[in-house]
Structure 1
Amino acid sequence: MNWTNNITRILNIEYPIIQAPMFGVTTPEMVAATSNINCLGSLALADLSAEKCVEAIRLTKQLTKNPFAVNIFVHDIPEITDKLRADYANAKTFIEHLAEQNNLHIHIPTIDQLKINSYHEQVDVIISENCKILSFTFGNLDKHSIDKLKSNGTILIGTCTSVSEAIVLEKSGIDIICVQGLEAGGHRGSFTSEVIPKIGGLSLLAQVSETVNVPIIYAGGIYNSKTLLASKALGAGGFQIGSLLLGSAESALKDFEKERLRKVNEADIVLTKSFSGRLARGIRNAFISDMEETEFILPYPYQNKLTGELRKVAKINKNVDFVNIWVGQSINDYSGQSITEIISKLIKQTETNNR
Structure 2
Amino acid sequence: MKWKSRITQLLGIDYPIVQAPMFGVTTPEMVAAASGKSCLGSLALADLDAEKSIEQIQLTKQLTNKAFAVNIFVHKIPVITEELRAEYAKAKTFIEQLAKESNLELNIPNIDQLKVNTYHEQIDAIISQNCNIVSFTFGNLDIQSIDKLKRNGAILIGTCTSVHEAITLEKSGIDIVCVQGLEAGGHRGSFTSEDIPKIGGLSLLSQVSETIKVPIIYAGGIYNAKTLLASKTLGASGFQIGSLLLGSSESALLDFEKDRIRNVKEADIMLTKSFSGRYARGIRNTFIDAIENSGIILPYPYQNKLTAELRRVAKLKRNPEFLNLWMGQSISEFKEHSTADIIKNLIEQTEKFS
| TM-score scaled by length of structure 2 | 0.99
Match of 2:119 in 1: 119
Alignment RMSD, CA only?
Answer: 0.7
2-structure distance, mates of 1:36, 1:198: 35
- Would you say the 8 A contact 1:165–1:192 is kept in 2? no
2-structure distance, mates of 1:332, 1:194: 30
Match of 2:90 in 1: 90
- Would you say the 8 A contact 1:216–1:236 is kept in 2? yes
Residue 108 in 1 paired to residue 135 in 2? Answer: no
1-structure distance, mates of 2:330, 2:295: 31
1-structure distance, mates of 2:149, 2:312: 34
Which amino acid in structure 2 is aligned with residue 55 of structure 1? E
Please give the secondary structure, in 1, of the residue aligned with 2:270. Answer: strand
Which amino acid in structure 1 is aligned with residue 236 of structure 2? A
Which amino acid in structure 2 is aligned with residue 351 of structure 1? E
Count of paired positions: 354
Residue 255 in 1 paired to residue 255 in 2? Answer: yes
Q: C-alpha displacement at 1:333, in angstroms?
A: 0.4
> What do the CA deviations read for 1:214-271 (whole angstroms, capped 9, x no partner)?
0000000000000000000000000000000000000000100000000001000010
> What do the CA deviations read for 1:270-296 (whole angstroms, capped 9, x no partner)?
100000000000000000001111121
Please give the secondary structure, in 2, of the residue aligned with 1:63. Answer: coil
What is the aligned-residue identity percentage? Answer: 73
Match of 2:342 in 1: 342
2-structure distance, mates of 1:245, 1:297: 30
Match of 2:267 in 1: 267
Match of 2:139 in 1: 139
Match of 2:67 in 1: 67
Match of 2:17 in 1: 17
Which amino acid in structure 1 is aligned with residue 108 of structure 2? I
Could you tell me which runs of 5 or more consecutive residues in structure 2 were left unpaired when the two chains were aligned.
none
Match of 1:7 in 2: 7
Quick check: 344-353 or 292-301, which moved more?
292-301
Which amino acid in structure 1 is aligned with residue 112 of structure 2? D
Q: C-alpha displacement at 1:106, in angstroms?
A: 1.0
Q: C-alpha displacement at 1:5, in angstroms?
A: 0.5
Q: C-alpha displacement at 1:15, in angstroms?
A: 0.2
2-structure distance, mates of 1:326, 1:74: 20
Residue 316 in 1 paired to residue 277 in 2? Answer: no
Q: C-alpha displacement at 1:297, in angstroms?
A: 0.5
Match of 2:227 in 1: 227
Which amino acid in structure 2 is aligned with residue 123 of structure 1? I
Match of 1:292 in 2: 292
Please give the secondary structure, in 1, of the residue aligned with 2:62. Answer: helix
Could you tell me which runs of 5 or more consecutive residues in structure 1 were left unpaired when the two chains were aligned.
none
